[in-house]
Amino acid sequence: MQDLRNSTAFVTGGASGIGLGMVRAFLDSGMRVVVADVRPDHLDAAAEALDAGDKCLFVELDVTDRAGMGRAADAAEEAFGPVHILCNNAGIGMLGDIRLVGYDDWDWCLGVNLGGVVNGIQTFLPRMLAHGRPAHIVNTSSIGAICPGPNGVPYLTAKAAVIALSDTLRADLAGSNVGVTTLIPGPTATRIHEVAALRPERFARTGLKPIEDRLAAGPIFTGGIPPETVGTMVRDAIVAERPYVVTHGAFRPFVEAHFAQILDAIPPATEQEAAALAAMMAGSLADLAGTAS
């Protein structure tokens, strides 16, 4: 997307943190923006801070609510016309040893951090393909998804899945009017630590409550980069149609070490094996193409 002026973006988790950083970058580029968020207090604060007049629409949205996502898409189109950029950014932080994690934690974390992305794609992608204009989807992952560590199994499972989802989506949409970018942020000055305020009663059975109560006292990271910096990086990646945005260069050696372990585990291929694999893949892809047509 070379020119963002007068186009429309829909940003989930858009009323604070990285989402709000994206909103600011889009507004600065002359766009209209739908700010969707589950917290009414954050929406009110964002509306006051942005003071964007008729350039912004503020929508209360739980991204796990598929019907609600559809209604929000309808409201966006009624206010601004077709949506050109979708940012599946809404997420919840979840930290703690796996021995403290229960089914409620898995269901909630996967439902928001992965299911919310799925719901955004299922709702908006058909509309983007139908209107046929240049469009783009941005899915928010995490640096921990490619540089994993302890105390975040459900969270990093979801964020790693977002990368696989985005990569496959990009392959499926090659040659269409819709591009795909994966955002992989490192420590950023956000309010992701306020997880206790977001946990629904139906997911209250958790061993993580003491941790979430402590997190409520202050940010997880000190010295994180400003969300506005991330928002600008995302906007520039959309214009340049780049597949990834990774915010922190300092993580490069850790990511290299992680992938080096995977590469070291791959045995060398014989010529016969390579030829058989190429033939198998070509046949499978041809079969799938025939089915799709």
> Hey, which residues are catalytic here?
155
63-71: long-range pairs with CB below 8 Å, 24+:
63/12, 63/13, 63/36, 63/38, 63/88, 63/90, 63/112, 63/115, 63/116, 63/119, 63/120, 64/111, 64/112, 64/115, 64/116, 64/119, 65/119, 66/119, 66/122, 66/123, 69/119, 69/120, 69/123, 70/123
Angstrom distance (rounded) from CA 43 to CA 35: 8
Measured CA to CA, the distance from residue 69 to residue 38 in angstroms comes to: 11
- Residue among 119, 126, 161 at smallest CA distance from 140: 161
Phi, psi angles (nearest 5°) of residue 178: -115, 120
Single-letter amino acid, residue 118: V
- Cβ neighbours of residue 200 closer than 8 Å, sequence gap 6 or more: 108
| DSSP 8-class letter at 13 | T
Taking each helix axis as running N to C, give the angle between helix 66-80 and helix 115-131, from 0 to 180 degrees, rounded to the nearest 10: 40
Sign of CA dihedral 230, 231, 232, 238: positive
Alpha helices in 97-208 (DSSP H): 103-113, 115-131, 153-172
d(CA 136, CA 47): 25
Whether residue 152 contacts residue 106, with contact meaning beta carbons closer than 8 Å, is answered with no
